[in-house]
Structure 1
Amino acid sequence: MEPVLPENNNKQGDENTMAMLCHLSALAGFIVPLGAVLGPLIVWLVKKDEMPIVDRHGRDSLNFQLTMLIAYVVSFILVFVVIGVILLPIVALFSLIMVVIASIKAYEGKEFSYPLSIKFL
């Protein structure tokens, strides 16, 4: 038996889908250099004016991805004193888990605040 999803009007469903894409597009960073920042940035810039939910989720996603970029750079520098070898996979796993959780929450139409995220935008 398939789960029953809440009924959304078409506009609300489209906004939730685009908000989810703001978060999921960050996974491009595992394939393309700086894709974790560029993916959410592109979705946010295209849809922020017409969809307020996408504006909110896009800002949150970008703030988190910029924070993670700083964490990756610091961890990479710390590789030279060995601690970064442990930190890099932890940062990557934390980022992946948070992106998946945020994507699910956005699709459900719920608010989600990334932990440890610096507010740049």
Structure 2
Amino acid sequence: MSIKNHKNIATFMHLGVFSKYFIPFGNYIVPILLWSTNKDKSDFIDDHGKEAINFQLSILLYTVILGIFSFPFFIFHVFGDATI
């Protein structure tokens, strides 16, 4: 396979994140599928596939942590001050 083809596959791994707007969880599925089918062909593809998946999992983790920390503030705001 040519170098240009490797770069195209790596680009589609990173651009596959935008499939979340059309396919539920597409931002995880598309990069994982592209990476798992092409990771043995090149170290370049392997590295970029790992980076794309790692970034998406990191964003998920940060979102969950922020959600956990913001939940008490949201509940306090909805129910307001309980003092009479």
Q: Which has the larger radius of gyration?
A: 2
| 1:31 paired to 2:18 | no
User: Hey, what's the Cα distance between the residues in 1 that align with 2:63 and 2:18?
Assistant: 15
Query: What's the counterpart of residue 60 of structure 1?
Result: 51
Residue by residue over 1:18-71, the C-alpha shift from the partner in whole angstroms, topping out at 9 and shown as x without a partner, is 010111111122333322111110110011001221101000111111111112
* Aligned pair partner of 1:22 in 13, 18, 22: 13
The equivalent of 1:41 in structure 2 is 32
For 2:22 and 2:13, the matched residues in 1 are separated by 16
| Larger relative contact order (Cα-Cα within 8 Å, sequence gap ≥ 6) | 1
Unaligned 5+ segments in structure 1 are 1-9, 83-121
Q: What CA distance in whole angstroms lies between the structure 1 residues aligned with 2:64 and 2:3? A: 37
TM superposition shift of 1:74: 2.6
Instruction: Please state how far the C-alpha of 1:78 moved relative to its aligned partner.
Output: 4.4
Q: Structure 1's 33 and 72: CA in aligned 2 closer, same or farther, altered over 3 A?
A: farther
Percentage of matched positions with identical amino acids: 27
- Structure 2-normalised TM-score? 0.73
Deviation at 1:75, TM superposition (A): 3.4
Q: CA RMSD in A?
A: 1.9
After the TM superposition, which residues 1-121 of structure 1 pair with which residues of structure 2 at under 5 Å, given as runs?
A: 11-80=2-71, 81-82=73-74
- The count of corresponding residues between Structure 1 and Structure 2 is 73
Q: Does the C-alpha gap of structure 1 residues 33 and 79 become closer, same or farther in structure 2, counting only changes over 3 Å?
A: farther
